Amino acid sequence: MNALLKSKQEAAATRLDSASLPAAAGWSKAAREDALARVRSTGLPSRRDEYWKYTRPDALTQADATEADVFKSDEPLVFDSFDRLKVVFVDGVFSAELSDDLALEGIEIARLAEAADISWASELYGTLEAKGQSPVERPLAALNTALATDGVLIRCTKTPSKPVSLIYRRDSTTADAMLHHVVKVEAGASLTLLENGPGAARLNKCLEALVADGAEFHHVRAQGRDHARSAATHMFVELGRESVFKSFTLTVNGKLTRNECVIEFTGDDAIAHVAGAALGDGDFVHDDTVFVTHDAVNCESRQVFKKVLRNGATGVFQGKILVQPGAQKTDGYQKSQSLLLDGDSQFLAKPELEIYADDVACSHGSTSGAIDEDALFYLRARGIPEGIATDLMTLAFLAEAVEEVEDDALKGEITGRLEGWLLRHSRA
C-alpha cells in the first residue's frame, strides 16, 4: 500500500473514531454503512491528491470545524420577497418553528432525520453519490452519506405552485453541520429549489437528485455573504430522457468553498446547465469542480463559471466533460473565466474533455484577465468614478453566468443583490 493512501486512510479513521452513525439511521443504515466502508477504504482527501491540487482540503477534513465569526447584516435574506415553501435549518438542524408547513400540492417533503422507511428515498439515498465516486473519488460526499444528521427528502410528482426554499441559517461560531438531501422529480414534473445561507461554521452538504423523463429541475443557490465559514458541497444529478436541469450558484465571500457538481445523462435529448458567479476578496478560496458524463444521445451540457477576484483571492475551476462511447450528437461546452482586479489574486483552471464518440461538439474556453483599461477610461471620462466603473464592469462580466437563471424574477433578485453589494462597497 502506498504511503499517501495510508495517510489518507489514517485521517479517515481518526475522523470516524469521533463520529458515530446517527441513531435514527433506520432505513438508510445499509447505505450509510456502505458509504462508511468507502471512506475507510479511500481515506480523506489530501493536498497531494490530483483532484485537490489547487484547494487545500485540511479545513474540511480535520476533526472539528475551525471557529468562525458569524456575519451579521440587517438586510433581508436573498429570496425573502418570494412566495415559496420555506424549510429552515439553523446550524444544520431543521427548525420546525421557523419552517413552513411542509405540505404542498404536487410534492412530498420529509425530514431525513425523522422519515420512516420511504421506498423511493431508500432506493436513492447514497446511490447517486456512490455512482459519482467513479472515476474520481469524492470522499467528503461518502463521509456525508455515512454521517449526515439532517436534510430533506423531496419527491415532486406534479409541478408545485411555488419553489421549495432551503434556508441555512448560521448562529453558532463552531457548528459542524452535515446535511444530505434527496430529490426526485417524477416524469413530467417541474421543481424549483432555492438554497441560501452559509449553513454552519463548517458545512458538508450533499444533494442527490434524480430527474426523470421529461422532468425539470431548476436550482438557484446563494451561499451567503458570511466570510469566515468553510463549505464542501456536492450535487449528484442523474438525468432521464428529455429532462432539464439548470443550476446557478452565487458565492460572495467565504474562506473556503468547494462546490462539486456531478451530472450524468442517462436518457437521450436532455439538457443540463450548471453555472456559477463568484465574487471574492482577500483570503477567499472558491473551487468549482464539475464532472459531466454524457452516456446518452443528443444531450446538451453547459458549464458557465465566472469569478471576480481581488486582494489576493483565489478561484479554482476543474471541469470535465466525459463523452462515453455511443453518446453521439453530444453538445458539450464549458466556459470558465476570471476577472482579476489586481496582481495578487489568482485563478487556477483545469478544463478537461474526454471523448469516446465521433459525432460530437465539445469545447471549452478558459480565460483570465484584468479589467479592460480602455473601457475603464471611457466610463471615467463620462464622469463615472473609478470604483463604480469597476463595479459596472464586474457586473457585466458576471452577467453571462447569471443569465443562466431561467426565471426572470429570480434572475432579477440575483442581479439586484450583486448590484447592491458591489455599489455599496464602492460608495462607502
| Positions in the binding site for another protein (CB under 8 A) | 372-375, 377-386, 388-389, 392-393, 395-397, 399-400
Helix (H) or strand (E) holding 231: strand 230-239
Question: Which of these, 268, 289, 276, 239, lies nearest to 331 by C-alpha position?
Answer: 268
Alpha-carbon distance 216 to 189, whole Å? 6
Alpha-carbon distance 158 to 161, whole Å? 9
Alpha-carbon distance 62 to 64, whole Å? 6
In angstroms, how far is CA 37 from the centroid of its own chain?
25
Question: Which of these, 331, 369, 334, lies nearest to 351 by C-alpha position?
Answer: 334
Give min distance, CB of 101 to another protein, in A: 40
In angstroms, how far is CA 267 from the centroid of its own chain?
23
Which residue's CB is nearer to another protein, number 138 or number 306? 306
Taking the CA atoms of the chain, what radius of gyration do you get in angstroms?
21
Which residue's CB is nearer to another protein, number 364 or number 380? 380
Which residue's CB is nearer to another protein, number 135 or number 385? 385
Alpha-carbon distance 130 to 262, whole Å? 11
Give min distance, CB of 403 to another protein, in A: 10
Which residue's CB is nearer to another protein, number 396 or number 409? 396
* DSSP at 189: -
Which residue's CB is nearer to another protein, number 361 or number 375? 375
Phi/psi region, residue 282 (left: phi>0; alpha: psi -120 to 50; beta: rest), is left
Give min distance, CB of 363 to another protein, in A: 20
Which residue's CB is nearer to another protein, number 109 or number 309? 309
Question: Which of these, 311, 379, 320, lies nearest to 346 by C-alpha position?
Answer: 311
Which residue's CB is nearer to another protein, number 201 or number 392? 392
Q: How many other CB atoms are there within 10 angstroms of residue 38's CB atom?
A: 22
Which residue's CB is nearer to another protein, number 21 or number 379? 379
Instruction: State how beta strands 85-90 and 93-94 pair.
Output: antiparallel
Give min distance, CB of 428 to another protein, in A: 14
Question: Which of these, 404, 319, 398, lies nearest to 365 by C-alpha position?
Answer: 319
Give min distance, CB of 221 to another protein, in A: 22
According to DSSP, the residues that pair with 303 across neighbouring strands are 274, 334
Residue written as cell 481515506? 43
* DSSP at 25: G
Residue written as cell 479554482? 316
Which residue's CB is nearer to another protein, number 289 or number 337? 337
Which residue's CB is nearer to another protein, number 227 or number 306? 306
Which residue's CB is nearer to another protein, number 74 or number 373? 373
Give min distance, CB of 393 to another protein, in A: 7
**Is omega for the bond preceding 135 within 30 degrees of 0, making it cis?**
yes
Q: How many other CB atoms are there within 10 angstroms of residue 311's CB atom?
A: 13
- Return all residues near 366 (Cβ < 8 A) that are at least 6 apart: 317, 335, 336, 337, 349, 351
Give min distance, CB of 391 to another protein, in A: 10
Helix (H) or strand (E) holding 153: strand 152-156
